[in-house]
Amino acid sequence: MTGIDLDGRVAIVTGAGGGLGRSHALALARRGAKVVVNDVGVDGPSADAVVAEIAAEGGEAVANHASVADPKGAARMVEQALKTFGRVDVVVNNAGILRDRSFAKLSEQEFREVLEVHLLGAYHVTAAAWPHLKAQGYGRIVNTTSPAGLFGNFGQANYAAAKMGLVGFTRTLAIEGRKSGIHVNVVAPLAASRMTETILPPEALAKLDPGHVSPLVVYLSSEACTHTGGIFTAGGGYVGRVAVVQGPGVVLREVTPEALADHWRAVTDVIGGVEFTGAAEQGDWVLARV
């Protein structure tokens, strides 16, 4: 295949002052994209430093310090891309925070704070960019989920809820954006970052350079990629697709708790499961069987 490039494209990468976001921003710039590097810089990483790195390599970038949790800040982020580079083509929703705590000790405020950055943050930036992507008939959106969201993880009920919410957000936007040439996918990275350095052991972190994830983000951000609505995971050189499947199940003449208990093995078996492109297809599949 010919080389993948993003020449002439403009990308917004949130949470890009360090870790995965920095890696994504650099990788996109190296492929020709002009980049709005967003990071509030609360924990030290600097969007300005990443912009300087991109400039030193001959790329074009501009720093943005807005919080994705602020809808006005998110709107200004998109406005900055338009004012500086004349367009916006790619949105990489990467910004995030952690408020890890077991559910028994988790406060409502800690729950809300995580949802506001991860889930509402992605909404705010995407909502600001969406009209422009639709008007030009082209766009690429890459959201960021997590293995914790897909599979669960102790002490991360807030984080997992936000990250699984982003999967539903992605799947629906993929359906709504298809006719307008907007492709939307979501990535579950496993990488060394600000958010994993206190969770994963040093030997694991050593294998999980963020640079192993960014090529996937670049591909999903490119015109060459026509996949949409996909859930992908990447880390340490591994890349794969994750799917939500529905098992064959069982059709009962009479549904009672006792009948369910008797057929529970068939109810829970997902061997030979089916993957659907949307809720309408799933509903049609069920109705055809009953």
Rounded Cα gap, residues 28 and 6, in angstroms? 7
DSSP state of 3: P
Rounded Cα gap, residues 47 and 41, in angstroms? 7
Residue in the block written with tokens 């004012």: 83
Check if the beta carbon of residue 153 is closer than 8 Å to that of residue 161. no
Q: Please choose, from the candidates 210, 198, 206, 203, the residue with its C-alpha nearest in 3D space to the C-alpha of residue 234.
A: 210
Rounded Cα gap, residues 229 and 183, in angstroms? 7
Find how far residue 28's CA is from the centre of its chain: 16
Rounded Cα gap, residues 121 and 74, in angstroms? 8
Check if the beta carbon of residue 35 is closer than 8 Å to that of residue 8. no
Residue in the block written with tokens 């422009």: 132
Of the residues 123, 138, 159, 238, only one is catalytic, namely: 159
Strand partners, 63: 37
Q: Is 159 one of the annotated active-site residues of the chain?
A: yes
Check if the beta carbon of residue 242 is closer than 8 Å to that of residue 188. yes
Active site residues: 159
